[in-house]
Chains A and B, each alone.
Chain A
């Protein structure tokens, strides 16, 4: 007969963060294994940003309507499109968690000794990996179009980290909404409502300085603005506030993981 100790051992202070890291790694591995078995998604994710750069970017470069200082509009736009693709990849990620709930997978994982935040962090990681696929395609295309992108591997690596953090935050935002909305249909509605304001109230397409004052305020509390600023600074060398950008992205992602993890239990009740 099974013998089980009734008194739980006292956990040391290092145990919770170690458990969080171990479980996040275990769940992230599953996300990578899923991508490995079906990587068509990585390819399809690159089409829309390419169209933005090739069609929107080239047309607006000719109009010369947007003041971008010493860099061409195409160079100015390229980091904005990278950030936009991270947003678009991640903002509907909550659907995956609702799908996992409906399939019974989320329930099963939540019955294991896994912190809720690890479940969310692994999904955020998966969104980050998906957000990177447009980077791999978009930067060579931008180079072919004459955009001067840095060749410094450390700056490219830092840009990849920024994209992963940005996509991770937007995935957490989507999962938090999933926890509140509870159904795919409602989440789609919220996602549609959020996407365009987040995109247009940022510096992805145009400088903040040309926005009306109220929109400038909104753009300063929009994490997408900080992602775009970091990518521009790292990839095309425009002046940027990298410390602030990374602090905002890290802080927003950490808060996002905590909040959406706390809301996860609502999905299975």
Chain B
């Protein structure tokens, strides 16, 4: 049997402490098969980003278990990090460096051998259609170009698991299409596993082989977008699927969930 790319069992993660603690993730079970594009969907505050942050070792496993390609993230964090490429929600590159320097920086952090480094950097930049602007300062790039530069940074280490946290949030439709095209191409060329979060249902529909709908830190439903929609009815959308399984309208749930998480994070900060 092939080892799953990610296996999450009974994951619970709380922010804050004592009676005030709110569970951002509350008993989550998930399996991401190797080689698939897996989308975690849900409104703001559903627990998607918290789940990703546990998978990518930024947050500790408080309760439950998480493995990445069979490696326990609690016990083998450094080895897990060698397998990851990560693009966070924020547009986060060094504006005072050129595009090429930004990618070379991550090539060094991922131990790309010196003799291969220049070629690998060029290859990653070319894959993201940034080769011609590689020597410009990243601070002069548009939002879509910065997101593609971040994908190049994540790609240069040749990750087995690419983790994308809301990869198209804040981008215009053309830039979003550009990011989608590159994610599809990367997956086709390299066969890597992609784990992404989004609250755009059309994005999940376009990109993902499997989606997991999260609501209040729990799994509401999981399956392929086509299967989930077909199970509900001939004209159902993923939005309808979410409404059906969570028992609540997506927009209303988003506001509520966000308030919960804000409250719990504020509490966590007060507690230091």
Contact = CB atoms under 8 A, between A and B. Distances in A.
Contacts of A111: 56-58, 81, 84, 86, 163
Contacts of B259: none
B interface, how many residues as a size bin?
Answer: 35 or more
A108 B86 contact: yes
Interface string B94-118: 1011000100011011110000000
B82 interface: yes
A5 B70 CA distance: 8
Contact of B92 (A107, A265, A269): A107
A139 B192 CA distance: 56
A157 B243 CA distance: 69
Nearest to A269: B59
Please classify the interface of chain B as helix (H, G, I), strand (E, B), loop, or mixed, using the class held by over half of its residues. Answer: loop
A8 B79 contact: yes
A235 B70 CA distance: 58
Contacts of B70: 4, 6-7
Nearest to A37: B96
B160 A112 contact: no
Nearest to B85: A111
Interface string A218-258: 00000000000000000000000000000000000000000
B109 A109 contact: yes
Interface string A98-112: 000011110111111
A198 interface: no
Nearest to B108: A26
B81 A2 contact: no
Given A34-B97, A182-B272, A107 B3 contact: no
Nearest to A102: B90
Interface in B58-87: 58-59, 69-71, 76, 78-79, 81-84, 86-87
Interface string B5-35: 1000000000000000000000000000011
Contact of B110 (A2, A113, A180, A268): A113
B71 A26 contact: no
A148 interface: no
A103 B92 contact: yes
B258 interface: no
A113 B81 contact: yes
Contacts of B59: 269
A103 B150 CA distance: 13
Contacts of A112: 81, 84, 106, 109-110, 157
A30 interface: yes
A6 B3 contact: yes
A34 B69 contact: no
B264 to A, nearest CB: 12
Contacts of B58: 107, 110-111, 265, 268-269
A6 to B, nearest CB: 3
Nearest to B163: A111
B191 interface: yes
A255 to B, nearest CB: 22
A150 to B, nearest CB: 36
Contacts of B93: 105
B110 A4 contact: no
Interface in B177-214: 190-193
B143 interface: no
Contacts of A268: 58
A4 B94 contact: no
A27 B109 CA distance: 8
A23 interface: yes
Nearest to A5: B69
Nearest to B77: A113
A38 interface: yes
6 contacts: A4-B70, A33-B97, A34-B97, A109-B109, A112-B81, A182-B272
Interface of B: 2-3, 5, 34-35, 56-59, 69-71, 76, 78-79, 81-84, 86-94, 96-97, 101, 105-106, 108-111, 137, 150, 153, 157, 160, 163, 190-193, 268-269, 272
